[in-house]
Amino acid sequence: MSKKATLDMPKKAVLDNTPSSDATSVRSRAMHLRPAELWQSAGPFAVFAALFILVAVLTPTFIGGGGLSILAVQAAPILLVALGQAMVLHVGSIDLSNAAVVVFSAIILAQTLGPFGAVAPLLCVAVMTLIGAVNGFLIAFGQVPSFALTLGTLGILQAASLVVSNATTVYATGNTELLDSLYGTALADLPEAFWLGVVVAAGLWALLRFTRTGQGMTAVGLNESGALFSGLRTRWLKVAAFALSGLLSGIAGVLVIAQGGAASSFGLGSDLLLPGIAAAIVGGTAITGGVTNPINIVFGALTVGLVPIGAAAVGITPQAQSLVYGLVIIIVVALTMNRNRAGAVK
């Protein structure tokens, strides 16, 4: 047996040096991974299809009355936030501040779109990317838990939004036509904003599959200590993940202004945190890190966008929608978490 083959074999098989041991190990891993693998490959689309059929049956006017377009409008900002959250989850962290970043981005854009025109969206997205990168830098180099740090950032950004907006609604008063195309019909009666999210999802899928940076992020999420000993720059990969979260949240803030023309600290976009996390997890992102398919997150976002419609169809009040999101997160994580790899569940 060659040295390379020996290194590639599972440790137990190398020690036993028997074909039966190797086969048993492979079967054991398959049994442990099967529920998660099935969910990650087919689960997101299956859940969306089931919910879509339920809504279509209970509300027949949904399809013929422009329901698909309305769903895409609702899902567009959720999709961008969920994709950013998924990249952070992919490296084994979490970002509790991304919804606050969306609101802050929208408020800044509403105030600057008139004076600065086309430069304003680019400026806002750049600032939000920087905020995300600072989060990642403090987490990676300061060794601060992501939950605690981004919770603190959430409070800071909420306070900043109140101060900058004077605790009122801020309206975009000029150059709003620059954003009109985002919610114009682009393809298949769905708005350009939704297709923008789909393109971003495809780009992130390619990043994770075909680039050293993406593969490094996967290694960090699967085994950060092993990635560090392999010579990967794990800290900077975390910074990159949080910067992507800030970038996509900043773009979601642009969509808020494109859709409503105004922003406030308590308005559109302020309630995206839980739906964003739910969409990422329903889309097959592993809460333990290292497993993400951005394409499936598109279906996760569509599913979450359908929740208010489906909830209303079965008689659930709007006030209970957060309960639905919470239950979805708990159930999906409980059913798909790979406890064999995670070891102790914390």
* pLDDT tens by residue, 200-233: 999 999 999 999 999 999 999 999 989 988 889 9
Say how far apart CA 167 and CA 263 lie, in whole Å. 11
Query: Do 94 and 154 meet the contact criterion of CB atoms below 8 Å apart?
Result: no
Q: Which of 33-37, 64-68, 92-96, 308-312 has the highest mean pLDDT?
A: 92-96
Report the chain's C-alpha Rg in angstroms: 22
Residue 6, pLDDT score: 42
- pLDDT tier at 66 (50, 70, 90 boundaries)? confident
Q: 227-231, 247-251, 323-327: which has the highest mean pLDDT?
A: 247-251
Q: What is the mean pLDDT of residues 302-317?
A: 79
Q: What is the mean pLDDT of residues 312-331?
A: 73
> Whose structure tokens read 């290694």?
219
CATH numbers and ranges of domains, the chain: 73-171+180-338 (1.10.3470)
Gap between the Cα atoms of 51 and 304, Å rounded: 10
Beta bridge partners, 262, equal 171
The pTM assigned to this predicted structure is 0.85
Average pLDDT, the chain: 84
Task: Report which DSSP code applies to 277.
Answer: H
Instruction: Give the mean pLDDT of 79-100.
Output: 96
Do 288 and 344 contact (CB within 8 A), yes or no? no
pLDDT over threshold 90, residue 171: yes
Question: Residue 5 is encoded by which pair of tokens?
Answer: 């083959």
pLDDT at 24: 45
Cα-Cα-Cα-Cα dihedral of 320, 69, 60, 318, to 10°? Answer: 10
Separation of alpha carbons 138 and 155, rounded Å:
16
pLDDT tens per residue across span 331-346: 777 766 555 554 444 4
pLDDT at 20 over 50: no
Averaged pLDDT, 256-281: 88
Higher pLDDT, 207 or 306: 207
**Tell me, what's the pLDDT at 21?**
43
